[in-house]
Amino acid sequence: MAQHSVFSVAEEQGGLVYSGFRLQARSLVPVGRPTREQWSDCLDYLMHLEQHLHFWIGDLLAYGERRWGTTYADMVEETGYDPGTLRNLRWVATRVDVAQRRENLTFAHHQEVARLSPAQQEAVLALAAAQGWSRDGVRKEAYRVTESGRPPVSQAATPDPGLCHGDCRDVLAQLPDESIDLLLTDPPYGMNYVSPKRILPFPQMVNDDGDTAVAVLDGALALAAQKLKPDSHVYVFSSWKTYRQMAAIVRKHFELGNVLVWVKNNWGVGDLEGGYGEQQELILFAHKGRRPLNGDAESNVLPFNRVGTNQMQHPTQKPVALLEYLIGKSSGEGGLVVDPFMGSGSTCVAARNAQRRYIGIEIDRQWYEQALQRLADPTWED
Ligand SMILES: C[S@@+](CC[C@H](N)C(=O)[O-])C[C@H]1O[C@@H](n2cnc3c(N)ncnc32)[C@H](O)[C@@H]1O
Any ligand 1 atom below 6 A from CB of 185:
no
Q: Does residue 345 form part of some domain?
A: yes
Cβ proximity of 316 and 165 under 8 Å = no
Residue 321 and residue 213 in one domain: yes
Query: What rounded mean pLDDT belongs to the chain?
Result: 84
Say yes or no: CB of residue 364 within 6 Å of ligand 1: yes
| 128 shares its domain with 225 | no
**How far apart are the C-alpha atoms of 342 and 185, rounded to whole Å?**
7
pLDDT at 348: 97
Say yes or no to pLDDT of 136 above 60: yes
Say if residue 143 is in the same domain as residue 202.
no
pLDDT tens digits for 318-336? 999 999 999 999 999 999 9
Tell me which of 102, 135, 156 is where a domain ends. Answer: 156
CA of 342 to the centre of ligand 1 (A): 5
Percent of the chain residues topping a pLDDT of 90: 41
Q: Is the pLDDT of residue 2 over 50?
A: no
Helices (H), 96-198: 107-113, 118-131, 135-148, 168-174
Residues of the domain holding 196: 163-376
Total tally of structural domains belonging to the chain: 2
Is residue 205 located within the same domain as residue 333? yes
Q: What is the pLDDT of residues 187-197, one digit of tens each?
A: 999 877 665 54
126 and 168: one domain?
Answer: no
Query: From ligand 1's centre to the CA of 328, what distance in Å?
Result: 22
* Whether residue 318 has its Cβ less than 6 Å from ligand 1: yes
pTM of structure: 0.64
Q: Is the CB of 237 under 6 A from ligand 1?
A: no
Domain presence at residue 363: yes
Bridge partners, residue 358, by sequence: 337
Residues 190 and 262 in one domain: yes
CB count, 10 Å around CB of 135?
16
| In contact, 297 and 323? CB cutoff 8 Å | no
167, 329 contact by CB (below 8 A): no
Q: Is 200 in the pocket of ligand 1 (CB under 6 A)?
A: no
Q: Are residues 137 and 201 in the same domain?
A: no
pLDDT at 156: 42
138 and 202 inside one domain: no
| Distance separating the N- and C-terminal Cα atoms of the chain | 41
Q: Rounded to an integer, what distance in angstroms lies between the CA atom of residue 189 and that of residue 1? A: 40
- The conformation of residue 209, written as its DSSP 8-state character, comes to S
**Dist. CA 341 → ligand 1 center (Å):** 4
Residue 40 lies in a domain: no
> Domain with 246 in it: what CATH number?
3.40.50.150
The answer to whether the CB of 344 is under 6 A from ligand 1 is yes
- Shared domain for 295 and 352, answered yes or no, is yes
* Closest CA relative to residue 7, chosen from 55, 43, 65: 55
Kindly give the residue spans of alpha helices, DSSP state H, lying in 4-82. Answer: 36-47, 49-68, 72-79
Q: Whose CA is nearest to atom 16 of ligand 1?
A: 207
